[in-house]
Amino acid sequence: MQVEKSTYSAGEEAAGAALKSWNSTHGARQAYKGATGILLLCLFILVSGCREPVGIAQKQRNSLSPRVGRYMVEAEGAFSRGVYELALAYTDSAEAFVPDLADLHFLRGKIYTQLNQLQVAQAAYQVVLEIDPEYAGARFDMGLNSFRRGKLRDAINYYLEEELEVGPTTALYHELGRAYARIGVPDSAEAAYEQALSLDPEHTTTYMWLGQLLEETGDLEGALEASLNGLKLRPDDLDYQYIVGTQYFRLDSAEAALPYLEPVAKEWTWHHGAQFNLGQVYMRLGREAEAETYFARADEAQQLQQRVNEAQNAINNDPTSPANWIELGNRLRESKRYGRAIEAYKNGLTIQVPPGLALYMQTNLATLYMECGDLSEAARRFEAILRADPDLSAARLNLGIVYAQGSRFDEARTVWTELLEREPRNTAAQNYLEQLDTMDQNEYVEASTTDCRDSG
């Protein structure tokens, strides 16, 4: 009997024409731009699992001018909002005044990591260490990037160097465990996970990875115990529910697995394992018709995931191509994984592209926000698009939809009326205006409840 493992996840034509006019001279930054780097405070402690740095970097923070400090605060804020090109621009401004600021290089490393330009990120972190060899988090992040590039031994070495130079942290031992597990050293992986939990007994992610490790080594009961410990801390987490449900099924307890896998399969229509394993549970319980339904959904999900994988592989090969980011965003949107699709489009927009292509990407990004229910962000983006190009009828139509979903009916009517003045035969705008005329003005127009921050 096959069971999917409980792996823990963590205008087409216009666009095509614009892409043809794009060439490598308009790509993203190809090489790291010399010395620069973060904030008066350690703003990345939680991200990297580091303790507050001391030494050269701290002395630099203490002596920063208000102007440079402001640039770095703005850069970090832009980074946290996903506006990566703006974040890089602020680091450029700071660099003009303090070219050897370790924090600046550290932030650039994080930005380029997010943009999947891992070699550029590694170079940035190396500059950090040249400025301050004891900078907390730099080696750790280099380890994370090495892990992503499949250089597992390098990752382990960076983690161990971080432990030696900076000290132990929960995040460090957690990632060390993952690296040991990936190279096939389960004893060392388990020991690292246990060290992580000794520092933070409520580190839920470590419980789940420990459970997966024990499952892979055949200790299914130990795996379930570890996974349940994590689920108790985060009972609404779909990742954890999927893992626990799958492990129950592998322990021949289909009835126990059912309440965990059903909500996951409902929400994660794109997830092959969730669909397939729920089909297996239904089959075990004698509910064959339902089982066949989910087996069919699993086949569809597998095809969607294959297209996503192909798009991701293209980015791994060339993260500076806007076409690759557009393709990934479109494939993720097709899978209804809106959070990741939004990130893909944001990453693509950091690359210098022709104005027409940029507007196409901005329109798709605004539409994604609309589809996942973030109406204020969708409206803000559609309004900006129309200021840049008032003739984009798709943006004007969708802005009206956003207004209507937010019960801003008068503004929706105005937008659709303006569209008909420009395009008298636009049947979509005509239909929406007719709906406004016939509906009760107190009627609630339902918007999507999908989470724009989905992690799938």
Q: How many domains does the chain have?
A: 2
329 contacts 364 by C-beta, under 8 angstroms: yes
What is d(CA 209, CA 181) in angstroms, rounded to the nearest whole number? 9
User: What is residue 444's predicted lDDT score, i.e. its pLDDT?
Assistant: 43
Q: Which of 133, 167, 201 is the last residue of a domain?
A: 167
Residue 310 is assigned to a structural domain of this protein: no
User: What is residue 6's predicted lDDT score, i.e. its pLDDT?
Assistant: 58
Q: Which of 167, 195, 229 is the last residue of a domain?
A: 167
Question: Would you give the distance in Å from CA 357 to the centre of its chain?
Answer: 23
Residue 116 is assigned to a structural domain of this protein: yes
Determine how many CB atoms are found less than 10 A away from the CB of residue 411. 16
353 contacts 322 by C-beta, under 8 angstroms: yes
Q: Which of 104, 139, 167 is the last residue of a domain?
A: 167
Residue 235 is assigned to a structural domain of this protein: no
175 contacts 143 by C-beta, under 8 angstroms: yes
User: Whole-model pTM?
Assistant: 0.77
User: What is residue 162's predicted lDDT score, i.e. its pLDDT?
Assistant: 96
How far the first Cα of the chain sits from its last, in Å, is 27
The residue written with tokens 């007994």 in the block is: 201
Residue 47 is assigned to a structural domain of this protein: yes
What is d(CA 411, CA 432) in angstroms, rounded to the nearest whole number? 13
User: What is residue 354's predicted lDDT score, i.e. its pLDDT?
Assistant: 87
The residue written with tokens 């969607």 in the block is: 304
Tell me the two tokens of residue 391.
């003739």
Residue 390 is assigned to a structural domain of this protein: yes
CA 56, 58, 61, 63 torsion-angle sign:
negative
Residue 444 is assigned to a structural domain of this protein: no
Determine how many CB atoms are found less than 10 A away from the CB of residue 401. 21
89 contacts 74 by C-beta, under 8 angstroms: no
Residue 281 is assigned to a structural domain of this protein: no
Residue 331 is assigned to a structural domain of this protein: yes
What is d(CA 301, CA 52) in angstroms, rounded to the nearest whole number? 44
Q: Print the domain residue range for 329.
A: 320-438
Give 10-residue mean pLDDT values along the chain (456 residues): 52 40 37 39 42 74 94 95 91 96 97 94 97 95 96 97 94 98 97 98 97 96 97 96 97 96 96 97 97 97 96 94 94 92 92 88 93 92 94 93 93 94 93 84 48 55
What CATH number is given to the structural domain containing 384?
Answer: 1.25.40.10
Tell me the two tokens of residue 185.
């050293």
Q: Which DSSP category does 41 fall into?
A: S
What is d(CA 279, CA 297) in angstroms, rounded to the nearest whole number? 9
382 contacts 366 by C-beta, under 8 angstroms: yes
Determine how many CB atoms are found less than 10 A away from the CB of residue 125. 27
Dihedrals phi, psi of 100, to nearest 5 degrees: -115, 30
The residue written with tokens 């330009």 in the block is: 117
